[in-house]
Amino acid sequence: MIRFIGKRLLLAVPTVVLVTFLVFVLMELSPTDPAVALAGDNPTPERLAELRHMLGLDRPFLERYFDWGLHALQGDLGTSPVTHQSVISDLMARLPITASLVLLSMIFTLVIGVGLGTIAALKKGGIVDWITNSIANLLMAIPPFVAAMLLVLFLAISNPIFPATGYATLGAGPGLWLQFMTLPALSLAIIPAALLTRQVRGALIDALEEDYVRTARAKGLRRTMVVGKHTAKNAAIPVVTVLGLVVTQMVGGAVVVESIFAIPGLGSVSVDSVLKGDLVTLQGLVLLVAVAVTVVNLLVDASYGYFNPRLRTR
Hey, which residues between 123 and 142 contact other proteins (CB under 8 A)?
none
Pick between residue 44 and residue 224 the one whose CB is nearest to other proteins.
224
Residue in 201, 204, 192 with CA at minimum distance from that of residue 228: 204
Whole-number minimum distance, CB 216 to other proteins, in Å? 7
Among 66, 215, 275, 295, which residue interacts with other proteins (rule: CB under 8 A)? 215
Rg of the Cα atoms in the chain: 24
Closest contact distance (angstroms) between CB of 111 and other proteins is: 23
The reply to whether 230 sits near other proteins by the rule CB under 8 A is: yes
CA atoms within 13 A on the CB side of 78: 21
The C-alpha atoms of residue 146 and residue 151 are separated, in whole angstroms, by 8
Q: Count residues contacting other proteins (CB under 8 A)?
A: 23
276 lies in the site for other proteins, by CB under 8 A: no
Q: Which of 85, 64, 77 lies closest to 272, judged by CA?
A: 85
Q: Hey, which residues between 279 and 308 contact other proteins (CB under 8 A)?
A: 307-308
217 binds other proteins (CB under 8 A): yes
- From 142, 225, 271, 299, residue interacting with other proteins (rule: CB under 8 A): 225
Smallest distance, Å, CB 310 to other proteins? 5
Please report, for residues 74, 123, 197, 272, the alpha-carbon distance to residue 131 in angstroms, rounded to integers and kept in the order given: 54, 11, 12, 42
In sequence order, what are the beta bridge partners of 86?
Answer: 79
Whichever of 169 and 308 has its CB closer to other proteins, that residue is 308
Residue 209 binds other proteins, judged by CB under 8 A: no
Identify which of residues 3 and 219 has a Cβ nearer to other proteins in the complex: 219
> Each residue of 122-158: b (16+ CB within 10 Å) or e?
beeeeeebeebeebbeebbeeebeebbeebbeebbee
Contact between 179 and 161 under an 8 Å Cβ cutoff? The reply is no
CA angle (78 as vertex; 31, 11 as ends), nearest 5 = 85
Rounded to the nearest whole angstrom, what is the least distance from the CB of residue 241 to other proteins in the complex? 16
Nearest distance in Å: CB 199, other proteins: 18
Is residue 41 involved in binding other proteins (CB under 8 A)? no
Using the rule CB under 8 A, give the single segment among 88-96, 99-107, 221-229, 274-282 that binds other proteins. 221-229
Q: Which stretch binds other proteins (CB under 8 A): 81-89, 115-123, 142-150, 224-232?
A: 224-232
Q: Of 59 and 229, which has the nearer Cβ to other proteins?
A: 229
CB-nearer residue toward other proteins: 3 or 314: 314
Select from 67-75, 194-202, 206-214, 241-249 the region that touches other proteins (CB under 8 A): 206-214
Distances (CA, A) of 33 to 19, 36, 116, 222: 21, 5, 50, 67
Other beta carbons less than 10 A from residue 52's beta carbon: 18
- Phi-psi category of 42—alpha, beta or left, where left has phi over 0 and alpha has psi -120 to 50? left
CA-CA-CA-CA dihedral for 153, 154, 158, 160, to nearest 10: -100
In the list 126, 214, 275, 295, the residue contacting other proteins (rule: CB under 8 A) is 214
| Rounded Cα distance, 251 and 205, in Å | 30
- Nearer Cβ to other proteins, position 201 or 230? 230
Q: Which residues bind other proteins (CB under 8 A)?
A: 210-212, 214-223, 225, 229-230, 233-234, 307-310, 313
